[in-house]
């Protein structure tokens, strides 16, 4: 994977020393690397904008070649023109784009998260918050075409969604008991120029904002909420990340940035938001009522059907003088929304298995992305020789860390690339015996998406597809010969290659010195010596296909 992300990635306030601490500086950094497509022709935000970028995920373009889009000439279905451009795919169209936002190479993202969660840096109050250069309150929020209708909010799934939705959100709420703020990425659909329908997952392990809502409702009070859009990428990335309850995301974002994040108090509610966000929508949620919300195309790949969710009355919209509206592309995977979760969740699982459960052999955790959307199917890669009991601890640990992740968990050995489902099937086919290596555990809550069916209780499927005994080598030319041939391929200017493991043969434990000697002689042109040796070992007391080792002791 090309990875040109360096500590010099940013061009914002911390240029040269860390990630961009400004969304527009991030766009500039993307553009400088050829990772931004500017679209200047008119694009209808209701019917064309998301479908155009969808082709990037549905059109066979390799992940590394995905780019962010900046729409500079946005209109709507009624022909209205917007003076605010829309950015889509700028946060996480690919791990490379996400890494640029983090100011770190892709390979360091996991460790960066773990360090930031362990050592947060509290935010500081900004003297001049950029997100409040323009403040809209009162009647201006309610006039036709005013308030939320001034924002170029795209429709994500035209043909199914009931409204334009804010998607790249940071929804800030405060615990009324301990005062600690939470920031989560929750969808918010437009209902009126001054009203949104916000959806916070209401199950065990669900949204932090929902836990706050329960407390305000218990007190009979409305819940203040602020939705920040276009915060610096490191700040946004904390929204979809699953952090422990009562963790202040702004402090974790500070640690990701390596410096305190600038915050500011909202204009109309008692909440603090990232001061350098592009746009902030402030308001209150009446906790005594719920309003039908959705349909909306969900990240699990199905359309979320209408459900009662939280109505938010907007009390202010504040923004920069020249803001960019930031959106995220979700729905069927692969998508921007699953990249943003994958790079953050996988290190969390790895740390759980290695550090909490102390399973030494774990090499990688890979969440399956295309169509299935990360959560249901997870692969755990283990070092060869990991004891079987440890493989099973890893399987159970992966399936139980989160209620909504790991309905199907498959363990593979380290020579199997878990991102390559063909390789995983290969491992299932040759390295697992269903009667011995498959366990079904009952009583699991439904994975997200399955509740659109008849709602039966779920269960968990665990499979040990690791290599359990010595096997003959993989039947491809050994690495040195494949590499030599590749040089010739390139010299002949044949079409460019994308090597996909396995592309060379390697030993899997069952190989003798005799056979190694034969192979070396063969590539040296001395195959006749092998024939002389085997002629001397010919015998008449065996039947065809009798393994030599059954009757001879081989070195
Ligand atoms: C694009 C996107 C949209 C999301 N929409 C929602 C949503 O509508 N409601 C929700 O509860 N979680 C949603 N999530 C998942 C949450 O952001 C995620 O579970 C996060 O950890 C929540 O943070 P919290 O634990 O602080 O609530 C979404 C994630 C992404 C990336």
More confidently predicted of 8 and 141? 141
SS3 category, 305: coil
Q: Please tell me the residue having the least CA distance from ligand 1 atom 7.
A: 186
pTM over 0.75: yes
Ligand 1: nearest atom to the Cα of 185 = 17
pLDDT band at 14 (very low <50, low <70, confident <90, very high): very low
Q: Are residues 62 and 139 in the same domain?
A: yes
503: in domain = yes
Q: What is the pLDDT of residue 340?
A: 94
184 touches ligand 1 (CB under 6 Å): yes
Q: Are residues 212 and 294 in the same domain?
A: yes
Q: Evaluate if residue 5 carries a pLDDT over 80.
A: no
CATH at 75: 2.30.110.10
Ligand 1 centre from 75 Cα, in Å?
28
Q: What is the pLDDT of residue 18?
A: 87
Cα–Cα distance measured from residue 187 to residue 224, given in angstroms and rounded to the nearest whole number: 17
Ligand 1 centre from 167 Cα, in Å?
10
Ligand 1 centre from 459 Cα, in Å?
24
Ligand 1 centre from 201 Cα, in Å?
8
Ligand 1 centre from 403 Cα, in Å?
15
Q: What is the pLDDT of residue 447?
A: 65
Ligand 1: nearest atom to the Cα of 201 = 11
Tokens linked to 456: 């039966």
Q: Evaluate if residue 4 carries a pLDDT over 70.
A: no
Ligand 1: nearest atom to the Cα of 243 = 25
Q: Are residues 311 and 383 in the same domain?
A: no
Using one digit for the tens of pLDDT, what is the confidence trace for 138-194?
999 999 999 999 999 999 999 999 999 999 999 999 999 999 999 999 999 999 999
293: in domain = yes
240 touches ligand 1 (CB under 6 Å): yes
318 touches ligand 1 (CB under 6 Å): no
Q: Please tell me the residue having the least CA distance from ligand 1 atom 15.
A: 240
Ligand 1 centre from 378 Cα, in Å?
20
CA 292, 298, 301: angle at the middle one, nearest 5? Answer: 140
Q: What is the pLDDT of residue 203?
A: 80
467 touches ligand 1 (CB under 6 Å): no
SS3 category, 218: helix
Q: Are residues 397 and 533 in the same domain?
A: no
Return the biggest CA–CA distance within the chain.
102
Q: Evaluate if residue 12 carries a pLDDT over 80.
A: no
Q: Are residues 81 and 165 in the same domain?
A: yes
Q: Evaluate if residue 10 carries a pLDDT over 70.
A: no
349: in domain = no
306, 327, 348 - which closes a domain: 327
198 touches ligand 1 (CB under 6 Å): no
Using one digit for the tens of pLDDT, what is the confidence trace for 55-97?
999 999 999 999 999 999 999 999 999 999 999 999 999 999 9
Q: Are residues 155 and 46 in the same domain?
A: yes
Ligand 1 centre from 54 Cα, in Å?
21
236 touches ligand 1 (CB under 6 Å): no
327, 346, 381 - which closes a domain: 327
Q: What is the pLDDT of residue 15?
A: 40
Ligand 1 centre from 227 Cα, in Å?
13
Q: Are residues 162 and 277 in the same domain?
A: yes
207 touches ligand 1 (CB under 6 Å): yes
The percent of residues above 90 in pLDDT, for the chain, comes to 90
Using one digit for the tens of pLDDT, what is the confidence trace for 238-286?
999 988 899 999 999 999 999 999 999 999 999 999 999 999 999 999 9
Ligand 1 centre from 194 Cα, in Å?
23
5: in domain = no
Q: What is the pLDDT of residue 1?
A: 35
Out of 116-125, 197-206, 379-388, 485-494, least confident range: 197-206
250 touches ligand 1 (CB under 6 Å): no
Peptide bond connecting 222 to the previous residue in cis, omega within 30 degrees of 0 = no
Using one digit for the tens of pLDDT, what is the confidence trace for 370-425?
999 999 999 999 999 999 999 999 999 999 999 889 999 999 999 999 999 999 99
Q: Are residues 393 and 535 in the same domain?
A: no
Q: Are residues 310 and 434 in the same domain?
A: no
370: in domain = yes
Average pLDDT over residues 344-372: 95
Contact 64, 94 (CB under 8 A): yes
497: in domain = yes
Out of 341-345, 409-413, 434-438, 512-516, least confident range: 341-345
pLDDT band at 502 (very low <50, low <70, confident <90, very high): very high
Average pLDDT over residues 511-523: 97
Tokens linked to 60: 């066979």
Q: Pairing relation of β-strands 68-71 and 36-39?
A: parallel
Q: Please tell me the residue having the least CA distance from ligand 1 atom 12.
A: 186
Using one digit for the tens of pLDDT, what is the confidence trace for 223-234?
999 999 999 999
Cα–Cα distance measured from residue 229 to residue 232, given in angstroms and rounded to the nearest whole number: 9
Ligand 1 centre from 362 Cα, in Å?
28
335 touches ligand 1 (CB under 6 Å): no
Ligand 1 centre from 162 Cα, in Å?
19
The percent of residues above 70 in pLDDT, for the chain, comes to 95
Q: What is the pLDDT of residue 17?
A: 63
201 touches ligand 1 (CB under 6 Å): yes
Contact 280, 266 (CB under 8 A): yes
Ligand 1 centre from 421 Cα, in Å?
27
CATH at 439: 3.40.1670.10
Q: Are residues 546 and 451 in the same domain?
A: no
Q: Are residues 454 and 497 in the same domain?
A: no
344 touches ligand 1 (CB under 6 Å): no
Q: What is the pLDDT of residue 453?
A: 60
Q: What is the pLDDT of residue 271?
A: 98
361: in domain = yes
Contact 300, 449 (CB under 8 A): yes
Domain limits for position 516: 490-551
185 touches ligand 1 (CB under 6 Å): yes
Phi, psi dihedrals of residue 348, rounded to the nearest 5°? -65, -45
Q: What is the pLDDT of residue 249?
A: 95
63: in domain = yes
Using one digit for the tens of pLDDT, what is the confidence trace for 322-341?
999 999 999 999 999 999 99
Cα–Cα distance measured from residue 385 to residue 366, given in angstroms and rounded to the nearest whole number: 20
Using one digit for the tens of pLDDT, what is the confidence trace for 447-459?
665 555 666 788 9
Peptide bond connecting 376 to the previous residue in cis, omega within 30 degrees of 0 = no
Q: Are residues 435 and 547 in the same domain?
A: no
Question: What is the total count of domains within the chain?
Answer: 3
Tokens linked to 62: 């390799």
Q: What is the pLDDT of residue 3?
A: 40
Using one digit for the tens of pLDDT, what is the confidence trace for 451-491?
556 667 889 999 999 999 999 999 999 999 999 999 999 99
């Amino acid at each position: 994977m090309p990875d040109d992300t360096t500590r010099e990635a940013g061009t914002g306030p911390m240029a040269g020393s860390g990630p961009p601490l400004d969304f527009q500086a991030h766009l500039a950094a993307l553009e400088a690397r050829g990772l931004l497509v500017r679209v200047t022709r008119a694009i209808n935000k209701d019917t064309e904008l998301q479908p155009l970028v969808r082709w990037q995920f549905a059109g066979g373009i390799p992940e590394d070649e995905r780019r962010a889009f900046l729409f500079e000439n946005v209109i709507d279905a009624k022909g209205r023109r917007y003076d605010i451009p829309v950015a889509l795919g700028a946060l996480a169209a690919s791990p490379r784009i996400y890494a640029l936002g983090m100011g770190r190479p892709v390979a360091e993202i996991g460790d960066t998260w773990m360090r930031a969660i362990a050592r947060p840096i509290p935010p500081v109050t900004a003297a001049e918050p950029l997100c409040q250069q323009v403040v809209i309150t009162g009647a201006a929020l309610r006039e036709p075409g005013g308030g939320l209708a001034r924002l170029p909010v795209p429709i994500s799934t035209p043909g199914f969604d009931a409204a334009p939705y804010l998607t790249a959100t940071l929804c800030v709420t405060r615990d009324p008991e301990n005062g600690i703020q939470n920031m989560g990425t929750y969808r918010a659909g437009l209902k009126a120029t001054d009203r949104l329908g916000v959806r916070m997952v209401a199950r065990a392990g669900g949204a932090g904002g929902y836990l706050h809502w329960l407390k305000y409702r218990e007190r009979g009070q409305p819940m203040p909420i602020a939705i920040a859009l276009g915060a610096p990428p490191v700040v946004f990335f904390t929204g979809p990340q699953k952090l422990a309850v009562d963790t202040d995301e702004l402090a974790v974002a500070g640690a990701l940035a390596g410096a305190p994040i600038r915050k500011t108090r909202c204009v109309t509610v008692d909440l603090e938001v990232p001061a350098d966000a592009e746009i902030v929508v402030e308001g209150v949620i009446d906790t005594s009522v719920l309003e039908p919300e959705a349909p909306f195309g969900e990240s699990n790949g199905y359309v979320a059907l209408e459900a009662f969710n939280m109505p938010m009355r907007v009390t202010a919209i504040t923004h920069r003088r020249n803001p960019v509206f930031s959106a995220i592309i979700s729905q069927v995977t692969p998508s921007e929304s699953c990249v943003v979760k994958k790079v953050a969740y996988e290190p969390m699982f790895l740390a759980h298995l290695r550090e909490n459960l102390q399973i030494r052999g774990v090499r990688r955790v890979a969440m399956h992305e295309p169509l299935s959307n990360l959560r249901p199917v997870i692969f755990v890669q283990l070092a060869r020789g990991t004891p079987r009991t440890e493989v099973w601890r890893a399987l159970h640990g992966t399936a139980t860390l989160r209620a909504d992740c790991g309905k199907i968990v498959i363990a593979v050995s380290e020579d199997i690339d878990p991102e390559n489902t063909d390789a995983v099937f290969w491992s299932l086919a040759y390295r697992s015996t269903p009667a011995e290596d498959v366990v079904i555990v009952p009583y699991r809550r439904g994975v997200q998406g399955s509740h659109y069916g008849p709602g039966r209780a779920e269960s968990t499927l665990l499979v040990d597809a690791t290599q359990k005994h010595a096997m003959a080598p993989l039947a491809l030319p050994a690495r040195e010969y494949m590499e030599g041939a590749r040089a010739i391929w390139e010299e002949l200017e044949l079409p460019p290659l994308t090597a996909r493991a396995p592309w060379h043969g390697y030993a899997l434990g069952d190989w003798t010195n005799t056979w190694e000697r034969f192979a070396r002689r063969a590539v040296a042109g001395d195959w006749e010596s092998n024939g002389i040796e085997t002629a001397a070992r010919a015998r008449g007391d065996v039947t065809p296909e009798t393994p030599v080792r059954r009757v001879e002791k081989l070195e």
